[in-house]
């Protein structure tokens, strides 16, 4: 093959050689160029050259958009293909804007060959990635659903890639595609009518299987039980049926499918059994020899940690994972490090961090920085006690000083400054390190800082007199850089200040040094030297000016932020990350499923506090704070809110809240059964206004999510996170409140009061008055439901942080639907029951208007989510919906409830609802409850809770009869 392509060339070369003179040679070359031109004289060459030579930012491309468009809409298939390929590979934003509709037309055209359509699908994908607005969701989602019926697997593969991109940004518009995807997956996994060309080593297109499962991971859940069941059957078969075989390619292909299936199972929150199957598989994989599989086992275990609570099982593999940390392949070592980092908690932090420290001495350069950062973060997050944390960081600096970023030592200084108990310990340690030979410069910095501040606490120990400390530090000065000298100068000034009565010899020595540096070439050093020299002559005034550094304001750890910020650049946002983010908003199961009683950790995803910028500047300020006085002290530069709240605090606390508090209670207990559902929506804002502490996330939104789930975050602000985990059984409930202190200093005067409505008996166990730094305490709360009611219990929670007093009133998710248990009732039972409960007050009917327009399946999902089990097909009219459930309370015991909803297909905003049960109060409450869920609630704006509390008194007057209207009015 190669030789035949070369004949022309050898002829050409011999011709050239035979040329007599330059002129002949030139003619021959021209002729050859002509030949070449003739051979490629069509548009094809134009396109090939364009796509090879130019990238999407080239100006030339803007000029040819019209030509390209003509080829796309033209009839010539060859040109269509060329144009689509070029746009698909290098098309930019401008192409997206002008070509998307034409490409869409080609994709759905019935007259084009599959060849053109699959190119159109991927070309559209490119354009969509460049500018998502070019695909208009309205019409297109139905088209996508139809496209998934495609028989040609090439087109289907391309369409599936397009779908992944579409659903990754907006799954809501593409629910219709979900059943189709499951069907495709079933077809592939059962090998039903798959053409031979699409079999790859006996596996029906592994790529299409992988893509399809990827698309499914972007849908938050699958509600339809039938679809869910079919999907789980497929996944079960993949999990069980994948064996290790000899053929490498077959093995890879089948495991590609298996790993994607694992990811999908994790995403779907499968039953416990299936989950443990997954963990077992991964446990097997991380122990195999085959490097690729081991790598993927480690990687997927890390991902698994992000979504579900499997730490305990994974811990069993700790030893195996540590072995992989020492693997010769850096790819595997990295994965092992990530996994160890992810699986670390209070129970194993010591082991893991020590393992990392040990490994640090032998690790290669490529990994050291990451290792150091991760060890520092783990030590900070899970320190069983803070002295251990200080030990770890100092060891880290000692062993790998070059890889310890400034952030790490700033952070340790911050901890030490904020914790009085820690200061003598840190000073002793710093002093010990100074005796070591060959000290890393970072160690000099951190020891100098700490000893400058706290060495006076050690004054009585041997070797710790001001003079001795000074001389051991001063020994290091000749070898360090300018930035360290600056810190040393500040330390000298501090030592001088602490030496009382003054030691004239030391004083002279230090003054001489200041004198010397007054003429330093570096302005910063010069300034410090001049200022310290002058100040130190002022005697007593020096004491004030150089007094101990005040506590740092709490802020997000710059380290954790740094670790989180490592950007990942992916075409589609990772499904797992999206999910983790959603969890953070709604449940954060990771936080609250942790059951260890003495858990001092706070495995909280660190919230994004919006003053990052300030935090950064403040951090940077640290190098200077110790000294130069002309500079703005970071303390005063940090949000003045603290100061303000200090000054204004008493006013705010004694003012509006106390006046408003009775209102709240009236609303809760007074207006029983009428408008309480709306109560606490407006409760939180009172506090937000009076305290300068802003909650993170939307309180109302969090409550709403918790009404449907049993664990999640109830409240969060920069200082505390309150999580809830609940278990319900019949009319009993057990809620556990997880109070997590996010700071490095304690929260004090913690108080939690429960304001229960009359139908709930609630008992809260003792809440400690102080929550230690970075600790989490658990407070169980027992609930008994006495009778049906929609009233809501409120938690009145307050704490003090520094001078800030925070008080919030939070609704607790012990709502009516928690005492429901879905029950399926067959037709032969249902109808007699329905008829026996005849008319009010046991059976109530109401026409509800202003319902949020939902399709029947959506409404069925909504009902199911509130434990009202919809039985399809029970009602002969397809527009009706019948549901049944059991309600538990002390007065009613287990009581069957039946619900029928008749919808009007021509007007989805109204419906007729009939509710029946054996208890009149229950019937009424349940009817109202369902109505509240159905009436149109506008999607909450970012801070809907900020409704001014003053509007409350007017509510009962305006719409006491219609809770829906009240709700709508409030939001």
Contact between 505 and another protein by CB under 8 A: the answer reads no
* Candidate list 108, 256, 652, 786; residue touching another protein; CB under 8 A: 256
Q: Are strands 720-729 and 711-716 parallel, antiparallel or unpaired?
A: antiparallel
Residue 7 marked in a binding site: yes
**Residue from 10, 18, 70, 331 in contact with another protein (CB under 8 A):** 331
Peptide bond into 167 cis (omega under 30): no
Q: How far is CA 201 from the centre of its chain?
A: 39
Residue 408's closest CA among 382, 443, 433? 443
Site track 257-276 with another protein (rule: CB under 8 A), x = hit: --xx----------------
Q: Is 596 helix (H, G, I), strand (E, B) or coil?
A: coil
Stretch that binds another protein, among 293-301, 490-498, 659-667, 732-740 (CB under 8 A): 293-301
In angstroms, the CA 971 to CA 969 distance is: 6
Beta strands in 849-952 (DSSP E): 869-870, 880-889, 893-904, 907-917
Q: What is the largest CA-CA distance in the chain?
A: 116
Site string for another protein, 39-68 (x = CB under 8 A): ---------x--xx--xxx-----------
**Cβ closest to another protein, residue 259 vs residue 830:** 259
Minimum Å gap between C-beta 355 and another protein is 22
Select the span of 456-464, 501-509, 572-580, 960-968 touching another protein (CB under 8 A).
572-580
Q: Which is nearer to another protein, 296 or 310 (CB)?
A: 296
Distance between CA atoms of residues 536 and 545, nearest Å: 10
Q: Looking at 294-302, 614-622, 692-700, 884-892, which segment touches another protein (CB under 8 A)?
A: 294-302
Among 145, 230, 236, 292, binds another protein (CB under 8 A): 292
| Residues constituting the chain | 971
Binders of another protein among 531-550, rule CB under 8 A? Answer: none
Written as six digits, the tokens of 524 are 């910063």
Residue 41 CB, nearest approach to another protein (Å): 11
List, in sequence order, every beta strand (DSSP E) within 717-851. 720-729, 732-741, 748-755, 760-764, 776-785, 794-801, 804-811, 820-822, 843-848
Q: Which residues of 719-755 are buried (b: 16+ CB within 10 A; e: fewer)?
A: bbbbbbbbebebbebebbbbbbbbbbbbbeebebebb
750 vs 494: CA distance, rounded Å = 37
| Cα–Cα distance list, 317 to 286, 312, 321, 680 (Å) | 9, 10, 6, 46
462 binds another protein (CB under 8 A): no
Q: Are 865 and 877 in contact (CB under 8 A)?
A: no
* E strand or H helix that includes residue 364: none
Identified binder of another protein from the candidate list 79, 295, 433, 797, rule CB under 8 A: 295
Does residue 483 contact residue 623 with C-beta atoms inside 8 Å? yes
Which of positions 212-251 make contact with another protein (CB under 8 A)? 214, 249
Closest approach, Cβ 275 to another protein, in A, equals 21
- What span, in angstroms and rounded, lies between the C-alpha atoms of 428 and 457? 9
Can you tell me which residue has the tokens 């001001």? 466
Nearer to another protein, 45 or 748 (CB): 45
Pick 160 or 926: Cβ nearer another protein: 160
Cβ proximity to another protein: between 92 and 697 the closer is 92
Query: Which range, of 203-211, 278-286, 534-542, 555-563, touches another protein by CB under 8 A?
Result: 203-211
User: What does the alpha-carbon distance between residue 553 and residue 533 come to, in Å, rounded to a whole number?
Assistant: 30
71, 83, 118, 380: which one binds another protein (CB under 8 A) = 118
The yes or no reply on residue 576 touching another protein (CB under 8 A) is yes
Q: How far is the CB of 110 from another protein (least distance, A)?
A: 20
Q: Which stretch binds another protein (CB under 8 A): 97-105, 565-573, 626-634, 678-686?
A: 565-573
Ligand-binding site membership of 8 (annotated): yes
Minimum CB separation from another protein for residue 513, in Å?
46
Instruction: Name the residue nearer to another protein (CB basis): 40 or 831.
Output: 40
Residue 199 parent element (H or E): strand 199-200
Does the protein bind another protein through residue 12 (CB under 8 A)? no
569 counts as binding another protein under rule CB under 8 A: yes
# of chain residues touching another protein (CB under 8 A): 68
Query: Of 708, 727, 712, whose CA–CA distance to 782 is shortest?
Result: 727
* Residue whose CB is less far from another protein, 248 or 647: 248
Please tell me whether residue 10 binds another protein under the rule CB under 8 A.
Answer: no
Per-residue CA distances from 937 to 380, 705, 904 (Å): 43, 14, 20
x-or-dash string of contact with another protein, 68-107, rule CB under 8 A: ----------x-----xx--xxx-x---------------
Residue 173: which H helix or E strand, with range? none
Cα 31 from chain centroid (whole Å): 65
Report, in Å, the least distance between residue 118 CB and another protein. Answer: 6
Q: Does 138 bind another protein (CB under 8 A)?
A: no
* Residue 169-198 contact track with another protein, rule CB under 8 A, x = bound: --------------------------x-xx
Check if the beta carbon of residue 386 is closer than 8 Å to that of residue 743: no
- Whose CA is closest to 426, among 473, 391, 465, 477? 391
Looking at the Cβ atoms of 42 and 950, the one nearer to another protein is 42
For tokens 């809440």, what's the residue? Answer: 767
Shortest distance, position 255 Cβ to another protein, whole Å: 5
For residues 197 and 828, which CB has a smaller minimum distance to another protein in the complex?
Answer: 197
Q: How far is Cα 450 from Cα 947, in angstroms, rounded to an integer?
A: 48
CB 691 within 8 A of CB 807: yes
Strand, helix or coil for residue 961: coil
Task: Output the smallest distance, CB 71 to another protein, in A.
Answer: 15
For another protein, which residue of 96, 153, 714, 862 counts as binding (CB under 8 A)? Answer: 153
Asked if 218 and 263 touch (Cβ cutoff 8 Å), the reply is: no
* Three-state SS at 471: helix
Q: Does 131 bind another protein (CB under 8 A)?
A: no
Q: Is the dihedral of CA 192, 193, 196, 199 positive or negative?
A: negative
The reply to whether 154 sits near another protein by the rule CB under 8 A is: yes
Which one of 230-238, 291-299, 742-750, 787-795 is the stretch in contact with another protein (CB under 8 A)? 291-299
Radius of gyration of the chain (CA): 35
Report if residue 373 touches another protein, rule: CB under 8 A. Answer: no
How near is the Cβ of 303 to another protein at its closest, in Å? 9
Name which of 262 and 497 has its Cβ closer to another protein. 262
> What is the binding site for another protein (CB under 8 A)?
1-2, 5-6, 48, 51-52, 55-57, 78, 84-85, 88-90, 92, 115, 118-119, 122-123, 125-126, 129, 153-154, 157-158, 161, 195, 197-198, 200, 205-208, 210, 214, 249, 252-253, 255-256, 259-260, 291-292, 294-296, 328-332, 334, 566-572, 574-576
In the annotated binding site, the residues are 7-8
């Amino acid at each position: 093959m190669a030789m035949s392509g070369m004949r022309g060339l050898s002829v050409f070369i011999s011709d050239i050689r035979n040329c007599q003179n330059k002129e002949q040679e030139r003619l021959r070359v021209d002729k050859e160029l002509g030949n070449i031109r003739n051979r490629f004289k069509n548009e094809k060459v134009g396109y090939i050259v364009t796509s090879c030579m130019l990238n999407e930012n080239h100006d030339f491309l803007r000029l040819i958009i019209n030509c390209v468009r003509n080829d796309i809409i033209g009839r010539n298939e060859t040109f269509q293909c060329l144009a689509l390929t070029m746009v698909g590979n290098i098309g930019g934003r401008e192409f997206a804007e002008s070509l998307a509709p034409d490409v869409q037309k080609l994709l759905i055209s019935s007259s084009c060959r599959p060849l053109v359509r699959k190119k159109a699908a991927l070309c559209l994908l490119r354009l969509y990635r460049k500018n998502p607005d070019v695909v208009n969701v309205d019409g297109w989602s139905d088209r996508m659903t139809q496209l998934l019926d495609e028989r040609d697997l090439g087109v289907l593969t391309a369409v599936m890639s397009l779908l992944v991109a579409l659903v990754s940004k907006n799954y809501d518009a593409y629910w219709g595609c979900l059943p189709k995807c499951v069907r495709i997956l079933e077809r592939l996994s059962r090998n039903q009518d798959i053409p031979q060309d699409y079999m790859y080593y006996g596996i029906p297109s592994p790529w299409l299987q992988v893509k399809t499962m990827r698309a499914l991971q972007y849908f938050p859940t699958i509600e339809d039980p039938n679809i869910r069941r079919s999907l789980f059957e497929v996944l079960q078969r993949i999990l069980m049926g994948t064996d290790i075989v000899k053929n490498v390619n077959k093995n890879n292909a089948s495991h590609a499918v298996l790993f994607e299936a694992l990811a999908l199972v994790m995403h779907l929150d499968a039953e416990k059994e299936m989950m443990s199957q997954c963990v077992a598989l991964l446990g097997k994989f991380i122990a195999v020899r085959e490097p690729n599989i081991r790598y993927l086992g480690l990687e997927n275990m890390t991902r698994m940690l992000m979504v579900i609570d499997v730490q305990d099982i994974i811990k069993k593999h700790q030893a195996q994972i540590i072995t992989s940390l020492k693997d010769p392949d850096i790819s595997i070592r990295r994965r092992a490090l990530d996994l160890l980092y992810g699986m670390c908690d209070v129970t194993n932090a010591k082991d893991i961090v020590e393992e990392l420290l040990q490994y640090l001495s032998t690790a290669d350069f490529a990994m050291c920085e990451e290792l150091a950062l991760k060890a520092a973060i783990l030590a900070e997050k899970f320190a069983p006690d803070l002295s251990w944390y200080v030990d770890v960081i100092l060891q880290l600096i000692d062993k790998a000083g070059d890889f310890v970023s400034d952030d790490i030592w700033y952070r340790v200084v911050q901890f030490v400054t904020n914790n009085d108990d820690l200061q003598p310990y840190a000073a002793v340690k710093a002093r010990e390190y100074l005796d070591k030979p060959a000290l890393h410069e970072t160690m000099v910095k951190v020891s100098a800082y700490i000893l400058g501040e706290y060495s006076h606490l050690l004054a009585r120990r041997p070797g710790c007199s001001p003079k001795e400390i000074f001389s051991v530090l001063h020994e290091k000065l000749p070898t360090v850089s300018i930035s360290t000298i600056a810190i040393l100068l500040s330390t000298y000034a501090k030592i001088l200040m602490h030496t009382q009565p003054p030691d004239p010899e030391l004083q002279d020595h230090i003054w001489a040094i200041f004198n010397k540096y007054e003429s330093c070439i570096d302005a910063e050093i010069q300034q410090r030297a001049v200022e310290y020299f002058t100040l130190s002559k002022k005697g007593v005034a020096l004491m004030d000016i150089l007094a101990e550094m005040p506590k740092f304001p709490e802020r997000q750890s710059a380290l954790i932020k740094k670790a989180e910020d490592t950007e990942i650049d992916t075409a589609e946002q990772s499904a797992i990350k999206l999910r983790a983010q959603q969890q953070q908003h709604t449940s954060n199961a990771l936080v609250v499923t942790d059951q260890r009683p003495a858990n001092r950790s706070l495995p909280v995803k660190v919230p994004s506090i919006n003053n990052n910028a300030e935090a950064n500047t403040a951090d940077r300020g640290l190098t200077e704070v110790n000294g130069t006085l002309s500079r703005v002290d970071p303390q005063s530069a940090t949000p003045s809110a603290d100061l303000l709240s200090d000054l204004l605090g008493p006013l705010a606390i004694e003012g509006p809240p106390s006046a408003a508090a009775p209102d709240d209670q009236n609303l809760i207990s007074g207006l029983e059964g009428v408008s309480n559902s709306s109560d606490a929506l407006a409760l939180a804002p009172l506090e937000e206004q009076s305290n300068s502490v802003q909650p993170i996330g939307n309180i109302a939104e969090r409550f709403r999510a918790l009404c449907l789930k049993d664990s999640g975050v109830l409240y969060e602000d920069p200082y505390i996170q309150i999580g809830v985990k609940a278990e319900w059984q019949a009319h009993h409930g057990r809620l556990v409140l997880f109070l997590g202190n996010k700071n490095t200093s304690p929260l004090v005067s913690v108080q939690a009061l429960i304001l229960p409505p009359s139908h709930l008996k609630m008992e809260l166990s003792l809440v400690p008055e102080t929550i230690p730094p970075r600790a989490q305490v658990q407070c169980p709360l027992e609930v008994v439901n006495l009778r049906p009611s929609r009233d809501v219990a409120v938690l009145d929670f307050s704490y003090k942080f520094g001078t800030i007093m925070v008080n919030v009133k939070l609704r607790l998710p012990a709502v009516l639907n928690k005492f429901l248990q879905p029950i399926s009732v067959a037709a032969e039972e249902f109808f007699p029951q329905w008829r026996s409960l005849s008319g009010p007050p046991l059976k109530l009917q109401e026409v509800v208007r202003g319902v949020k327009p939902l399709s029947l399946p959506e409404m069925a999902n909504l009902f199911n989510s509130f434990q009202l089990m919809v039985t399809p097909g029970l009602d002969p009219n397809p527009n009706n919906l019948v549901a049944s459930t059991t309600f538990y309370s002390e007065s009613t015991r287990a009581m069957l409830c039946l619900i029928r909803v008749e919808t009007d297909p021509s007007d989805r905003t109204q419906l007729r609802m009939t509710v029946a049960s054996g208890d009149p109060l229950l019937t009424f409450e349940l009817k109202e409850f369902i109505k509240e869920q159905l009436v149109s609630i506008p999607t909450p704006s970012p801070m809907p809770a900020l409704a001014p509390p003053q509007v409350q008194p007017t509510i009962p007057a305006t719409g006491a009869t219609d809770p829906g209207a009240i709700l709508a009015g409030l939001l």
